[in-house]
Homo-oligomer: A and B are copies of this chain.
């Protein structure tokens, strides 16, 4: 399907994409670049990329598909640095967890070449990072959200849809703003709460002792708190308004529980717990039960 993938950022997300593309037979060659030369080197040793490029621009030279898999805050500078070699025939995608900021960055950086850009968010990830953890199966069975700009070329959008589908993903399109509002609720806020849960324990006397008592519930609840802090600093900043809205809504929900506990209002407490428990028990990842509005 493609001759040459230009991979900018050979970490967990980028490396896994390269491996998945090769495994699916969708690309012949992968030319890779990472900011850290040791990462690029390691990616080649591990067979994640075939050729090391000395710059982002040179990773793009001769590519018919480009994946920008860098921290969201670095998207604009990265796109600017490759702009001169982006062609209308080239499909350029990212994998960032926020999309409104990425779309704005792409408009500013790519200008008249922005039609080549299809913003993508594969709902996949792990609490570990680095090319060592790159996994050809990381994206299999996951959802991918595409948030095309008003100037994205339809042919590139269709091509991106087909590509991710062939990697085993279910593909959806959304407006960037709707994406960011929804993911503030189901991804960014849970990460923030997990980080805050850890901080809340760490700040206490005997925190090591307390942590030694924690069991499987705590383990799963806080798993995402081990995620990469720099990446999450950038996501929380990039989607600041929506994250703060969700944090407020969450605290209102938490305070409703506190009030029921304080007021000995057993019935309200049980009703709230029951609705939460039943909703979660019936939830299945990626299953849309009824779609009230997009």
Which A residues fall within an 8 A CB radius of B?
123-125, 127, 142-143, 145, 172, 182-183, 185-187, 189-230, 232-233, 236-237, 240, 243-244, 246-247, 249-254, 256-258, 261-262, 264, 266, 269-270, 272-277, 279-281, 283, 285-294
Contacts and interface: CB of A to CB of B under 8 A. Distances in A.
A265 to B, nearest CB: 10
Given A185-B210, A209-B182, A220 B217 contact: no
Nearest to A209: B291
B279 A213 contact: no
A277 B227 contact: yes
Contacts of A209: 182, 288, 291-294
Contacts of A215: 123-125, 142-143, 186-187, 285-286
Nearest to A183: B213
B200 A292 contact: no
Contacts of A202: 275-276, 279
Contacts of A199: 253, 256-257, 272, 275-276
A247 B259 CA distance: 12
Query: In the complex this chain forms, how many copies of it are found?
Result: 2
A169 to B, nearest CB: 12
26 contacts: A123-B214, A123-B215, A143-B215, A172-B213, A182-B209, A182-B213, A186-B211, A187-B217, A190-B218, A194-B276, A196-B250, A198-B280, A202-B275, A202-B279, A203-B249, A203-B253, A206-B293, A208-B288, A208-B289, A209-B293, A212-B288, A214-B283, A219-B285, A225-B280, A237-B264, A237-B266
B145 A195 contact: no
A212 B125 contact: no
A251 B223 CA distance: 20
A14 B287 CA distance: 34
A98 B199 CA distance: 24
Contacts of A279: 198, 202, 211
A200 B253 contact: yes
A223 to B, nearest CB: 5
Nearest 5 CB-CB pairs, A to B? A229-B273, A198-B276, A186-B214, A212-B288, A123-B215
A260 to B, nearest CB: 9
A195 B257 contact: yes
A8 to B, nearest CB: 23
Nearest to A292: B206
A221 B190 contact: yes
A210 to B, nearest CB: 5
A193 B285 contact: no
B212 A289 contact: yes
